[in-house]
Every structure is written in structure tokens, then in C-alpha cells.
Structure 1
């Protein structure tokens, strides 16, 4: 582990707790000790800003106030409430996990780490956050903010993308927890990283431990944490059809596994090398839905970037030749005003809104 004395650990803990009690934001999930509601907030906050999460969390908890309410809800309704937050596997995993909590634990969120970690989609960070914040269990909760804070305070130059580094940071974070203060201390680390010890231009003069910060003393705080470089997202050309028949438009549901699983979208797919978007649409409709379409005019361009790919989507209005494709579980012909009832990826939400503006 990192060379940290008990005295140094105690001083860091004391200062961060005092600072947190004075400076913490009034967030809705901090007004409850309900582990389910805290769990929902932690899942939503992954890869998403606090300001974005607040209205989503409020709506979600209003509709699904208990483990049982979420466990019993139709998945499509859950995904619709999640619409716009992205990373939809989070919502599906959360619902699968609470169903297990209902079945195995009578609806009570487990307070033991091995039980939390056995739930679908629950990793070490989420488990640590829920157990420490809701139950005050002295376990670490190391996310990006905590990696950054600890790497700077204790000048740790390990690559945080490596599993060995995570173990080191978790051991250090656990060592630092003051007795009986796991909930507030773990939140103090997160809060400091979000508001003071920021990725760029850290506000060191506002930091309660800046005079103890080893990176600050060396003037290298902005160089930490050390991270392996990510590959840039791979561009993919997508052809999408706004297919009309008898005043209705065609939407299809994505497969139950994979990217954006289970969401509805305007049909289409990847453009092959050397293929035009119009030719791609005719090929894709014939292959996937046995449907002949007449591609009419360009409708819109939409770009959307995921962590690993970037969609360059071109949409065209089309007309079905020889009648409509048969409706099935994953295929619907709907009125434009009905599109708002279906959970859709952000790129397709933009198309739906543009379409509604033209009708």
C-alpha cells in the first residue's frame, strides 16, 4: 500500500469531514438513508453529471419508490423513464438486480458486500457506495473522483486503468476511513473530486488538505491521475429510413442484447464500403424485413458519439412498395404523435422530434 501514517490518515479524515459538513451540496438522494434510493442515484451518476441526474432521479423515484415497484414494472416503462440518460444497460441491470433483491431478500437491499457483488450489474464501486453511504459499512467506494483525489494527495503515479492500481487505491481508501464515518467520508472524497480537485485546473486554494497534498507540493497535481490513453471512437456510417405507409411510420426494436438493447428506432443499419446510403437502405430493408422501399429524399443528418464508436447517421424518407411490413413484437407502424411513447436512443429521438415538427 501507499506509505501513509496513521497520524496523516487521521488528519486527512478530520479535515475532509469538516469540509464536507460545511460545503456539501444539498442533493435529493442525500436527504434519505433508503439504500434503494441511494443505489438508484449511484447507478444514474455513472458517466453522468449531477445536474443531469437530479430530474431523472426525482421522476424515477416518484414512479418507482420501492424495490418492489421497480421489480414489478414493465422493462419498456423503465427504459422510457431512463430515456436520454444513456448507457441503458444500467437500467436493465438495475431492474434485474432489484428483482433478485425482492426474490432473495424480501425487498431489503443487502448490507453485506459479497451479497451486493453477486447482484447483476453491481461492481465494487456501486457496492461500496451503497453499503457505506446507506449502511455506514467501512468499505471503499473508488470512482473517477476518488482516483483523482487520492492520486494527488498521496502522489500515486500508478496507471489507474490497471487492475493492480485499483486494488492499491481501494486499500488506501479503506485505510483512510475514520471510525464510524464511512458514509460521510466516502462522500467527502467524491464531493472534493467533483467540486475542488477537478480534472483540469483544480482549485487547490479551496482544498482543505492542500498543504498536505504531495502532488501540490511538487507542482504536478494537473498531471495526475495517470491514465492509459483511450482509442478514439470508431466512425460508423448509418443509413436510416423514415418509412411511410398509410400515414404511419415504421419503427423497430433493437435486439435484447448489445448496444442500446431493447430500444425502439427508425429502421436501418450500417453502410457497407463503397455503398451509397440509398442502396444500403434498399438492401437492409430487403434482408431484415423482406420489405421493398422507394427511397425518396434526404431527411436529416445526426451524429452521436458513444465511448467506443461514433454514429454518422443519414436519414431518408421512404415509401413502402406493395404494402406494409407485417407488425410483430419488434415491429410497429405508428402515428407520429405516438413516437413519444417509445423509448428511443438519443439520435432517433432527434429524428422523431424533427419529424413531429414537420407534421
Structure 2
């Protein structure tokens, strides 16, 4: 079965697969690795311009390892899931320090690098070194869950184990590089999450989900939980020179390590923002000007952002210069900024509410 599965998939790939993605050019472990990390939770069309800009700035693993974290985060800004960028930076330093700047070509060693799990390590082994290794990203999980009619959410250990068994069984010994790209392409282009094009699938005759007319039942959905709703004030504080005050967030957690706007407890009313700035930041400010608020969704909750612009009227000195710093707008935009914060900084002309 595995031979027929792989043969048909490869024949389809030769005619319909993606052969000209940016990371296919000058293919090496570094470029494959960066693409794989970027493609986690992110679609190919979104990744391509980020990948190209990233490679232009950090063409080798040594360039990435030696770069300041702010520079790395800046080139990641907008891709989200910023822990990926921090882990990428850490792993680059590991490759340089522990492996002389050369990526290991075996899966077990690759899995010791920060942020590289089983499937990513296998993708590097297969794509960069053309060695047999089974991958199991989101697209592959969907293909295999439907083909074998495996019930349940793939995040559940018992379901995941079954999927890995099938992934291992179907992975061929020849053309492994093409096969791994082929099964990812099939999931992305044909066996899609919604409205799969089963009539175009090279595996349709044996696909159990299609035979049972139950394609949409696989893979099983993650148990749903209502996302909490949170609210925060975000302050656009400007001094007499036109600089904006930014706060570096803690290294872990949401937007870890990025620069953001100072936040104030949402329990404060708008008439209390001046007092809060004085008490929390030691800054005297003019009356706030409210900016149109919006909701930003994270993986675990929704955040309602209430922006307010305040002009500092007195001394602009802040006590914590490591955590809080003034930046001119152009300078700020070179930093690692979350996408919503970048928008607030670049679009200060938003319609004021008061």
C-alpha cells in the first residue's frame, strides 16, 4: 500500500506540484529550516515575501546568529507567533557554537536545537539532505487522517501516534525530497481543510473518507473553548521632540521580547490616564486624545486595545531605561514590533474619538 500511495503521489507532484518555491533555490539546510519555521501556522503566500527579506538580511546561519535580537524580531514582525523567531535566533547560535556553523544531517541531533521538533527535523533531513525521514505537519495530518479515516483530533496523543505510524509507512526510500514536498502540496492544494478537490486527488480511489462520503469529518476538530476577552489601554506617549515611548516586553509570553506601547489597567477611566502616567511612569502629560480602538486575537484570547495619545508636558526622563525608551518613529519602525503596535505608530492620524 505504501508503495502505491507514494508512487501515485509522486506522479501527481511531477505534473501539479510546486517546484519553484523560494527555498527550493540554493537549497541547503539553513534555508529549508527557516522556511519550515516560517510555515508553521502560516500559509505559503504569506511566508514568501518574509522569507525573501529574511534571506536578504540573514543569508547564512552565521549572519543570523550574530545579529541583534531586535533585528531578527523586526524582520519577523507581522508573521506572528514570535516565539518562533526567538527560537530561530537561539538555534542559529547553537549551530554556530556547537556545530561549527554546519547543520547536523541526522534527525536526532537536529531535534536538540531550540524550536525544532520531530516533523521539522525530518523535513530538514529530507529536503536538505534527501535522506529518508517521515514528516507530519498540518497538511500531512489532514491527508493521512482522511486517507485512513482516523477519527479524533490530531493533537490527542493516541491519534497522533497512529498518524506517525502511517507517515513512516508511506515515506519511500527514493525521491524523499520530492515526496515530502508532494504530500505537503497535496494537503495545501487539493486535500484542503474546506472544500477539498477530491476529484483531482491521485489517492481518491483508496481514500477511506471519500469512500464513506465522510471527508469533512476528518481530521477531528480540536475541542472548542470560548476565548476569554481582555481589555487594555495602550498609550502613545510623545515628548517635545516627537519621540514615542516604547516598552520592551518580557522575554516569554505574548509578544515576548518585542517592543510595545506602555499599557495601563483597563479599570482606569479616561480621566485617570494622566494620573496613571504620573504614578506609573513618572511623566506629566496633557489631556489624552482617544484613538479608535480595535480587537486583536491571539491563540488563547481576544484583546480589546484602547489606544490613547498623550503629550508629555514636563521632563521626559523615565526611570527604567532598559525596559522603557524613547524612539523617533523612523527608529521605532526598525525594531521588533507586533503588527498592531506598528500600525498604531505608523498611522497616528486615525480618527480621534474625543
Residues 337 and 356 of structure 1 are in contact (CA less than 8 Å); yes or no, is this contact kept in structure 2?
no
Q: Please tell me whether residue 135 in structure 1 is matched to residue 129 in structure 2.
A: yes
CA RMSD of aligned residues (A): 1.9
Cα shift at 1:322: 3.6
Residues 133 and 183 of structure 1 are in contact (CA less than 8 Å); yes or no, is this contact kept in structure 2?
yes
Residues 244 and 250 of structure 1 are in contact (CA less than 8 Å); yes or no, is this contact kept in structure 2?
yes
Specify which of 260, 285, 294 is matched with residue 302 of structure 1: 294
Residues 270 and 288 of structure 2 are in contact (CA less than 8 Å); yes or no, is this contact kept in structure 1?
no
Please give the alpha-carbon distance, in whole angstroms, between the structure 2 residues aligned to 1:297 and 1:283. 15
Q: How many corresponding residue pairs?
A: 348
Cα shift at 1:338: 3.0
Residues 233 and 305 of structure 1 are in contact (CA less than 8 Å); yes or no, is this contact kept in structure 2?
no
TM-score normalised per structure 2: 0.93
Which residue of the partner structure matches residue 11 of structure 2? 18
Q: Please tell me whether residue 332 in structure 1 is matched to residue 318 in structure 2.
A: no
Alignment of 1:160-239 (within 5 A): 160-239=154-233
Specify which of 118, 128, 132 is matched with residue 124 of structure 1: 118
Residues 235 and 309 of structure 1 are in contact (CA less than 8 Å); yes or no, is this contact kept in structure 2?
yes
- Which whole-Å deviations, capped at 9, do the CAs of 1:39-89 have from their partners, x for residues lacking one? 000000111111111011011111111111111111111111111111111
Q: Please tell me whether residue 157 in structure 1 is matched to residue 157 in structure 2.
A: no
Residues 146 and 189 of structure 1 are in contact (CA less than 8 Å); yes or no, is this contact kept in structure 2?
yes
Please give the alpha-carbon distance, in whole angstroms, between the structure 2 residues aligned to 1:253 and 1:300. 24
Cα shift at 1:282: 4.7
Cα shift at 1:243: 1.5
Cα shift at 1:329: 2.2
Unaligned runs of 5+ in 1: 1-7
Change (3 A) 1:288 1:116: farther
Residues 295 and 316 of structure 1 are in contact (CA less than 8 Å); yes or no, is this contact kept in structure 2?
no
Residues 233 and 306 of structure 1 are in contact (CA less than 8 Å); yes or no, is this contact kept in structure 2?
no
Residues 277 and 314 of structure 1 are in contact (CA less than 8 Å); yes or no, is this contact kept in structure 2?
no
**Secondary structure in 2 matching 1:246:** coil
Residues 155 and 214 of structure 1 are in contact (CA less than 8 Å); yes or no, is this contact kept in structure 2?
yes
Cα shift at 1:210: 0.7
Residues 268 and 285 of structure 1 are in contact (CA less than 8 Å); yes or no, is this contact kept in structure 2?
no
Specify which of 2, 7, 17 is matched with residue 9 of structure 1: 2
**Secondary structure in 1 matching 2:331:** helix
**Secondary structure in 2 matching 1:312:** strand
Cα shift at 1:334: 2.6
Which residue of the partner structure matches residue 348 of structure 1? 341
Cα shift at 1:13: 0.6
Structure 1 outlier segments of 4+, above 6 Å: none
Please give the alpha-carbon distance, in whole angstroms, between the structure 2 residues aligned to 1:72 and 1:239. 36
Q: Please tell me whether residue 316 in structure 1 is matched to residue 311 in structure 2.
A: no
**Secondary structure in 1 matching 2:186:** helix
Change (3 A) 1:296 1:288: closer
Residues 94 and 113 of structure 2 are in contact (CA less than 8 Å); yes or no, is this contact kept in structure 1?
yes
Unaligned runs of 5+ in 2: none
Cα shift at 1:113: 1.6
Residues 283 and 318 of structure 2 are in contact (CA less than 8 Å); yes or no, is this contact kept in structure 1?
no
Which residue of the partner structure matches residue 241 of structure 1? 235
**Secondary structure in 1 matching 2:291:** strand
Residues 235 and 310 of structure 2 are in contact (CA less than 8 Å); yes or no, is this contact kept in structure 1?
yes
Cα shift at 1:104: 1.1
Which residue of the partner structure matches residue 257 of structure 1? 252
Residues 240 and 312 of structure 2 are in contact (CA less than 8 Å); yes or no, is this contact kept in structure 1?
no
TM-score normalised per structure 1: 0.91
Residues 67 and 107 of structure 1 are in contact (CA less than 8 Å); yes or no, is this contact kept in structure 2?
yes
Specify which of 86, 96, 103 is matched with residue 97 of structure 2: 103
Cα shift at 1:278: 4.8
